[in-house]
């Protein structure tokens, strides 16, 4: 018994309360806590950890960048992560339903849905391109190894000796091979992997408005990608919770294999030194701190709605404080580890070409689909390493995509809330997946890469920062920090640590505001290599960014106009006040100030209890009342008979004298 109580306290249960399964039969829960942690790790650890962080690190002072990075993790990343997890877990609702805490701010939830929609559309296109490269790696010779293909130009210059292609051509091409290094040092070469990416995979057009044709191989891979995501989410968290045992853990196996292979190569140490050598003077540069804060914020997935959604399937007394620390640190450690994997290979490539590491370093799609694949061609059994690398990218992307789709589906199901929609959640998942596939089709055209980068740069940029800032203000200052601290204590069995209280109220909002100011000051119009985006496309980009933020004031005005009150002030107060249904989902957890005040309010105080149970209770009460009335009626008849005859039920007795 003592062991059970001790286990309950470790898991965040209230001391003294019996440990029991509090399965929410209406919405469902994670099968166990490992599923939630792995899903959240898969959500937070994405493509950005591999293709963005290492580049930011070497650009911003190498090892010196780690200092502001981990400071921002402690003061902004972990507190915001804990805030969102506790928010969703307490109410057991998605990113729309949780705003019963202050109905006027429900527009923040709609903003999160819009952001998740944009990210979900283009993120799966990146995954489908990784699928495409994965399938193309199933060969004896990687197709981007040499410059003798129909799509190559005269400017192409490979890094692999030509004799590996065909021994009979060795003598004819030896002079060309000998001159490669010299050409590379004198001019900016065009690599076969870059030409393969531009001219074969994308067949890129000359302008964002020139869509050209749909690239059918990529469209087919997009269909495969959405099918995989749908099948993994066909039963919601019950099915995705099982899939993440593989998708969230296997990327670490691949990273370790690539790391061991990378550090054994010539020049790998130079690449790692370039990655980690501290340039302490850069710590005084505001841009470095801005990049650190932005990377922490975007990498953890704050304000996307995914953290709230995943936590809403936790059991009420789960220790989400512990989970938030584990997941946040795992995410950042993965970023640092991925940097070793990337720069060990890039260092080897720079050594082979006899050029500085900075000339081969890249980020984003350029790293994933050009620089790293080219470096892999230098390795023996290169198709094997290519298969592993792109399989890792696929799994990293799918982990995030699962949560993006589940965020949208959960928000829709919670908002409608009917028995039919809950029973047929799979239909909603399928509908959202089909819509996502159709909206992603334009990104598979010849101009698709322009639109993908436009969405990546604008759809989830400063809008996320604004959404997160307003969420902090709403919870801490509109709902009230004391109320929220009591809610967390009721849920976990202990109040939030003082450090987190201070961060939630003061430090994190200030850092978020700093990120917003930094983003505005550092803004530069987007470009892709030498292509400059036209003004009309930038206007579309800003429209996408504002479309999520504008939900907040529009819904606030709508809610105020519908709220009761004679004056604007009264309506504003009513719109900000927590909804009567705000609180724990299950009746057994609605204690203290959430307990029902009176018998007639019992139904109102249990907003999310099973409707069938409530109906049964109502019927039983009505039956009891009817039975009571019937009994009273019989008693009255009995008294009447007794009063008129002077005896009780003598007419039923065959022998009155007896």
Q: Which residues are annotated as a binding site for Na(+)?
A: 42, 44-45, 49, 299, 331, 396
At 532, is the secondary structure helix, strand, or coil?
Answer: strand
Distance CA 268, CA 349 (A): 8
Residues 440/443/449/454 CA torsion (nearest 10 deg): -60
* In contact, 144 and 193? CB cutoff 8 Å: yes
Q: Structure tokens of 455?
A: 């969405």
H helices present in 474-577, as ranges: 481-492, 498-502, 508-521, 535-549, 551-562, 568-576
Q: What is the DSSP string of 397-434?
A: HHHHHHHHHHHHHHHHHHHH--HHHHHTHHHHHHHHHH
**Long-range contacts for 479-483 (Cβ within 8 Å, ≥24 apart)?**
479/101, 479/102, 479/578, 481/505
Instruction: For 531, list phi and psi in degrees, rounded to 5.
Output: -85, 130
Binding-site members are 42, 44-45, 49, 299, 331, 396
Q: What is the DSSP string of 164-192?
A: GT-GGGHHHHHHHHHTHHHHHHHS--B-H
Distance CA 201, CA 194 (A): 10
Q: Structure tokens of 165?
A: 């292609």
* In contact, 46 and 399? CB cutoff 8 Å: yes
Name every residue whose Cβ is closer than 8 Å to that of residue 79 and which is 6 or more positions away in sequence: 500, 503, 504, 507, 508
Distance CA 337, CA 201 (A): 29
Nearest residue to 395 via CA among 243, 236, 262: 243
H helices present in 278-417, as ranges: 286-299, 306-311, 320-353, 365-366, 372-376, 382-416
Q: What is the DSSP string of 38-74?
A: HHHHHHHS-HHHHHTHHHHHHHTTGGGGHHHHHHHII
* In contact, 309 and 412? CB cutoff 8 Å: no
């Amino acid at each position: 018994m003592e062991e059970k109580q001790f286990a309950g306290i470790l898991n965040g249960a209230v001391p003294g309360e019996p440990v029991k399964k509090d399965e929410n039969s209406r919405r469902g829960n994670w099968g166990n806590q490992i599923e939630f942690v792995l899903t959240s790790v898969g959500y937070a650890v994405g493509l950005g950890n591999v293709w963005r962080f290492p580049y930011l690190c070497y650009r911003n002072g190498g090892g010196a960048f780690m200092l502001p990075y981990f400071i921002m993790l402690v003061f902004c990343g972990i507190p915001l992560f804990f805030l969102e997890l506790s928010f969703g877990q307490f109410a057991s609702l998605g990113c729309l339903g949780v705003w019963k805490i202050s109905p006027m701010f429900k527009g923040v939830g709609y903003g999160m849905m819009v952001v998740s929609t944009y990210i979900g559309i283009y993120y799966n296109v990146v995954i489908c391109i990784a699928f495409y490269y994965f399938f193309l790696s199933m060969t004896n010779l990687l197709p981007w190894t040499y410059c003798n293909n129909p799509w190559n130009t005269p400017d192409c210059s490979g890094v692999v000796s030509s004799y590996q292609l065909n021994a009979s051509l060795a003598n004819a091409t030896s002079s060309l091979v000998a001159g490669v290094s010299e050409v590379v040092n004198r001019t900016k070469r065009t690599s076969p992997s870059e030409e393969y990416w531009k001219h074969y995979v994308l067949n890129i057009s000359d302008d964002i408005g020139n869509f050209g044709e749909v690239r059918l191989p990529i469209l087919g891979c997009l269909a495969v990608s959405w099918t995989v995501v749908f099948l993994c989410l066909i039963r919601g968290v019950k099915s995705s919770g099982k899939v993440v045992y593989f998708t969230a853990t296997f990327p670490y196996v691949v990273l370790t294999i690539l790391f061991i292979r990378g550090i054994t190569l010539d020049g790998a140490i130079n690449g790692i030194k370039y990655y980690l050598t501290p340039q302490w003077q850069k710590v005084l540069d505001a841009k470095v701190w801005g990049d650190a804060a932005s990377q922490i914020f975007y990498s953890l997935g704050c304000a996307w709605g995914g953290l709230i959604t995943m936590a809403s399937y936790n059991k009420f007394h789960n220790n989400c404080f512990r989970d938030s620390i584990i997941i946040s640190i795992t995410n950042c450690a993965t970023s640092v580890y991925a940097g070793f994997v990337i720069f060990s290979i890039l260092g080897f490539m720079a050594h082979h070409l006899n050029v500085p590491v900075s000339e081969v370093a890249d980020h984003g799609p350029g790293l994933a689909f050009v620089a790293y694949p080219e470096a892999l061609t230098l390795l023996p059994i290169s198709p094997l390493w290519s298969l592993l690398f792109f399989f890792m990218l696929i799994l990293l992307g799918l982990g995030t995509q699962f949560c993006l789709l589940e965020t949208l589906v959960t928000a829709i199901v919670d908002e409608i809330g009917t028995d039919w929609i809950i029973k047929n959640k799979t239909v909603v998942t399928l509908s959202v997946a089909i819509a996502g596939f159709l909206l992603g089709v334009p990104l598979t055209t010849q101009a698709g890469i322009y639109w993908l980068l436009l969405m990546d740069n604008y759809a989830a940029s400063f809008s996320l920062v604004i959404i997160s800032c307003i969420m902090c203000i709403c919870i801490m200052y509109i709902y009230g920090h004391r109320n929220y601290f009591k809610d967390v204590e009721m849920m976990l069995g202990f109040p939030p640590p003082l450090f987190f209280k201070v961060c939630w109220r003061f430090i994190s909002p200030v850092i978020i505001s700093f990120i917003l100011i930094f983003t505005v000051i550092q803004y530069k119009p987007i470009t892709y290599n030498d292509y400059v985006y036209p003004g009309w496309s930038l206007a579309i980009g800003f429209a996408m960014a504002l479309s999520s933020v504008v939900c907040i004031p529009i819904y606030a005005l709508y809610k105020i106009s519908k709220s009761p009150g004679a004056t604007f002030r009264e309506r504003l107060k009513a719109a900000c006040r927590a909804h009567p249904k705000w609180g724990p989902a299950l009746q057994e957890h609605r204690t203290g100030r959430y307990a029902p005040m009176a018998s007639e309010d019992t139904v109102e105080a249990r907003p999310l209890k099973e409707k069938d149970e409530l109906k049964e209770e109502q019927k039983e009460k009505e039956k009891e009342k009817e039975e009571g009335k019937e009994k009273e009626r019989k008693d009255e008849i009995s008294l009447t008979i007794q009063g008129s005859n002077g005896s009780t039920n003598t007419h039923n007795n065959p022998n009155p004298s007896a």
